[in-house]
Each structure stands twice: as structure tokens, then as C-alpha cells.
Amino acid sequence: MMITASQALERLREGNKRFASDVRSLESFMSQTRRREMATKQTPFAIILGCSDSRVPAELVFDQGLGDLFVIRVAGNIVAPSQIGSVEFAAAQFGTRLVVVLGHSQCGAVSATLSELRRPTADQSRNLRSIVDRIRPSVETLLDTELRDDPEALMHQAVRANIRASVNQLRHGSDILEQLIQTDNLMIVGAEYSLETGSVDFFC
């Protein structure tokens, strides 16, 4: 039986505490038995839409093992149709009731977007621009505030604004997910991973 969203969230919190404290659970280590069990089925207890950054592997950050997490990774943890479809698939197919948008401090995609807003790049690739254009609406208004004179604070708030935007898109950009939220207690939350401390803050 699939665990509830609240139980899944607590499991992630506890796993991250272990990771940040340099402790690994025995369950997170892959065994031959576990691998054989996963060969015919999977029952991930959480869906993670995270950034592709090599320093933020969800399974390690949350101290989870083979088959525990359904992970979707893309630069800037943006939400495009393929990401929405992947979340819909896992939520409907496996009954997973928790979705986490996992951003992180010092995100390169967010930083690139802020730089692009200040100094547009004429020869930026169309593909990279598609990522920047999805982050742009959530961060450009920050440049009209006093944050523009505080690079560190601006970056922190921009990362969180981008996470909130992705959470909002998942909550309201899919009929399937909206229905699961209303009828099956699907929970979609946002979180920021600190590269400096290893801790995850679930903040929206």
C-alpha cells in the first residue's frame, strides 16, 4: 500500500537529516535482492522534479535506495510539458502521492537567467534560451527591487521564486494533477537544497 504524502515527506526529511549528518541508512544501499524485486515493478514513494546539477542527486540528498524515488531532472528544475507528463505518469501509474520540486542554492540556470536579463546574449542557443525563458517570468520582477544591489540576496530570492513558479505550474497546469490533488490527496511542495550545508528546506 502506497504511503501518504505526509508520510513520504517525513521520510524525505529524515533521510536528508542523515545525509547532512554524513550517516547512511542500510536500506539505501543496493542489494541483489532489492535489484531483483525492482526488475518487475516499482513503487516510488515520492516524485522529485529536480535540477540537473551534478551536486544535487536526489537519491543521495534524501538517503534513499533503488526504486524509492521517481526522479525527473532538468536544468533549473523548470516545468515544461514533458516534465508535467512525467509527473502525471508516475502519480497515476504508481499511486505516488508526493511531488517535490527540488531547487538548490547557487543554481546556474537561475544565475544565467539573471545575467541574460541584465545583458542579453545575441548568440545564445535556441535550446538554452528555452530554459532561460521559462525561468525569466519568476525572477525578472526582482530586478526592479532593492535586491538588484545585493547579488547574494537576489540569487537566494530568485532561486526560491523559480521553485515557487514550478510548484505553481504543476499544481495548476495539469487537469490530471489538479484532480489528484482534489480527490486523492496528492501534495506538491517546493524545497531548496543548500550546497553549503547539505540540508533541504521545504518552504512552499
Amino acid at 84: I
| 1: pLDDT strictly greater than 80 | no
Return d(Cα 134, Cα 139) in angstroms, integer.
10
Q: Is the pLDDT of residue 24 over 90?
A: no
Assess whether pLDDT exceeds 70 at residue 27.
Answer: no
Q: Tally helices (H) and strands (E) across the chain.
A: 8, 5
Which strands sit side by side in the sheet containing 187-193, from one edge to the other? 69-73, 46-50, 98-104, 187-193, 200-202
37 — pLDDT class (breaks 50, 70, 90): confident
What is the average pLDDT value for the chain, to the nearest integer? 94
pLDDT number for residue 29:
64
> Using a CB cutoff of 8 Å and minimum separation of 24, what contacts does 169-174 make?
169/79, 169/84, 170/49, 170/79, 170/84, 170/87, 170/99, 170/101, 173/79, 173/84, 174/84, 174/87, 174/88
Rounded to whole angstroms, what are the CA distances from 111 to 56, 128, 168? 16, 13, 21
List, in order of start, the domains of the chain with CATH numbers.
Answer: 5-202 (3.40.1050.10)
pLDDT at 38: 82
Would you place residue 28 in the very low, low, confident or very high pLDDT band (cuts 50, 70, 90)? low
Q: With the C-alpha atoms ordered 204, 4, 11, 38, is the resulting torsion angle positive or negative? A: negative
Minimum mean pLDDT among 29-33, 74-78, 143-147, 168-172: which range? Answer: 29-33
Write the single-letter amino acid at 181: I
Residue 61: count other Cβ atoms within 10 Å of its Cβ: 24
Q: What is the mean pLDDT of residues 173-197?
A: 97
- Alpha helix ranges (H) inside the chain: 5-20, 32-38, 58-61, 81-94, 108-118, 126-139, 151-172, 175-184
pLDDT digits over 87-142, tens only?
999 999 999 999 999 999 999 999 999 999 988 887 778 898 899 999 999 999 99
Amino acid 138: pLDDT: 96
pLDDT band at 36 (very low <50, low <70, confident <90, very high): confident
Distance in angstroms between the alpha carbons of the first and the last residue of the chain: 27
With a cut of 90, say whether residue 34 has pLDDT above it. Answer: no
pLDDT at 26: 66
